[in-house]
Amino acid sequence: MKNISVYKFENSSFKTEDDVKRWATYFGSFGLFLFSLLFFIEAKADTFADVATKQGFGNRVEELRTFSKLEGYSTRETNPKDKYNGPIIDVLHHTHAYWGQLRKFLRKKGRNKPLIDSENMIQMTKELGVIHSITSEPPRIKGLYGDPIKFSKKYKSFSALCSPHFVAYEHRGKFDKAINLLKQIELNLKAGNCIGIGEVGVQHYNKSEKYYHLSNDKHKQKDISIPLDNVFLHKALKLSDKYKVPILIHLEPRHSVRNIDNVEEVKKWYKDICKRYINSKIVLVHNGMFEPNHLADLFETCPNVYSSFKIMRPSWTYYWKFNDLHIVNNMEPLFAERWATLLEKYPDRMMLGSNIFLRKMKTAKTKNTYRKIINNVRLMVGSLDKEAQKKIMYDTPKKLFNLEL
């Protein structure tokens, strides 16, 4: 949105054009400078206001801004000339398969495959300079058929994580299946078929509830959870510890609409398991989904805790789903300064995990979503200290996942 500031020149001493010319000549360069300021046009991006207006909330922009936990923070300015142009490892893909939402969309459109399918991602990642990607099953309770291992065996620019679906089986009371899956996970880790475990949905709420009062979209996410002391969860942690591999954990500590705030309990649990499973590499996806001071506290306490970050997109519903989970930016492709500072302090603990799904690229309008994400990440990371940039984007995930590239 453009904010136009115009000065209305009103002074009885300058009634004619000649008066103005004589005044400008008299004051020389100072006069010209001041003259330019009088008619200065300021153009400042305000994507939140633009998107809110398109959604019909143009008269409530400032009110809605106060509700969000992503607004009101200073940002790290970027310069396209400084963007990060080095190699990238993306540790959180979900692009080896597609599930319910996309399948329903394709049936409705009478199509057999999406505009961007799994194979398309091979060329796209190459073009974008994403040297390696790690794909995994997302937190789900149904449709547990994705096979990231099979996909990674076919395409060497992708690695796979072992299935997290012991959570789904526990959630549905299918304990025998959970036990058998954990046995299979160990066999796959032994064989080197997967390089970690995840994305383990310890607590995954229906975040769509947060925007129901602001949108006609009534999509409902599944609530998925497993108790923090659950035997299957701790079996997975033991396997991560035994084989010294990363385990990626999705644990939402807050849900503002439900008045849930479990940050301190969650931090206590992380501090307990990081000491209990000292050889495990515990990766908190989406920057742990709490403020940087809490993540820094865990980094200081636990040398084996890491985190991946994703960025916000200018999507109204996506924004409100994550507004209380403290993503690293708002709708602008600028790191909040509080997150830029943390990234620069802990570049050996942070990495990119874009959380890209094929469903996010299902239409002609959205098919370039991943390209936009990577381009914005490069721009944002370019605003960080030079020493931190390559560590975050390549060196840290390469070392953490023991990748031979």
**What type of residue is 276?**
R
pLDDT at 36: 33
Spatial CA neighbour of 382 closest among 338, 326, 344, 327: 344
363 Cβ contact partners less than 8 Å away, ≥ 6 residues apart: 115
Give the tokens for residue 404: 């031979």
Residue 108 lies in a domain: yes
Q: β-strand 42-43 against 2-3: which pairing, if any?
A: antiparallel
> Residue for token digits 């200081």?
300
DSSP of 64-95, one letter per residue?
HHHH-SSSS--B----GGG---S-EEEEEEE-
255 lies in the same domain as 145: yes
Residue type (1 letter), 130: V
75 phi and psi angles, rounded to 5 deg: -120, 155
Based on the fold, state whether residues 84 and 162 are members of the same structural domain: yes
Question: What are the C-alpha distances in Å from 383 to residues 87, 375, 389?
Answer: 16, 13, 9
Say if residues 321 and 128 touch (Cβ distance below 8 Å). no
Give the total residue count for the chain: 405
Q: What is the pLDDT of residue 373?
A: 97
Judge whether 405 lies within some domain: no
40, 4 Cβ separation under 8 angstroms: no
Residues 37 and 131 in one domain: no
Is there a single domain that holds both residue 39 and residue 139?
no
Sign of CA dihedral 110, 114, 119, 124: positive
Question: Cα–Cα distance between 361 and 83 in angstroms, integer?
Answer: 24
Q: Which domain CATH number covers 206? A: 3.20.20.140
Domain co-membership, 12 together with 157: no
Asked if 71 and 11 sit in the same domain, the reply is: no
In three-state secondary structure terms, 334 is coil
pTM exceeding 0.85? yes
pLDDT of residue 19: 52
**Do 29 and 65 sit in the same domain of this protein?**
no
Q: What are phi and psi of 284, to 5 degrees?
A: -90, 110
Specify whether 40 is located in the same domain as 107.
no
Write down the pLDDT at residue 40. Answer: 31
In a domain, 281, yes or no: yes
Domain span at residue 33? 2-44
Q: What pLDDT sits at residue 57? A: 96
Same domain, 100 and 28: no
- State which amino acid sits at residue 111: R
CB 148 within 8 A of CB 197: no
Q: Please tell me the distance from the alpha carbon of residue 237 to that of residue 189, in angstroms, as a whole number.
A: 13
Distance CA 276, CA 296 (A): 20
Helix (H) or strand (E) holding 158: strand 158-160
Could you tell me if 138 and 118 lie in one domain?
yes
Query: Do 137 and 40 fall within a single domain?
Result: no
User: In total, how many domains does the chain have?
Assistant: 2
Residue 281 and residue 155 in one domain: yes
Please list the helix, strand and coil fractions of the chain in percent, rounded to the nearest 5, in that order. Answer: 50, 15, 35
Spell out the per-residue pLDDT of the chain, length 405, in tens.
Answer: 333 333 333 344 444 555 544 544 444 434 433 333 332 333 357 999 999 999 999 999 999 999 999 999 999 999 999 999 999 999 999 999 987 788 888 888 888 888 999 999 999 999 999 999 999 999 999 888 899 999 999 999 999 999 999 999 999 999 999 999 999 999 999 999 999 999 999 999 999 999 999 999 988 999 999 999 999 999 999 999 999 999 999 999 999 999 999 999 999 999 999 999 999 999 999 999 999 999 999 999 999 999 999 999 989 999 999 999 999 999 999 999 999 999 999 999 999 999 999 999 999 999 999 999 999 999 999 999 999 999 999 999 999 999 999
Q: Are 207 and 321 in contact (CB under 8 A)?
A: yes
Which residues contact residue 75 at a Cβ distance below 8 angstroms, ignoring those fewer than 6 apart? 329, 332, 334, 335, 336, 337
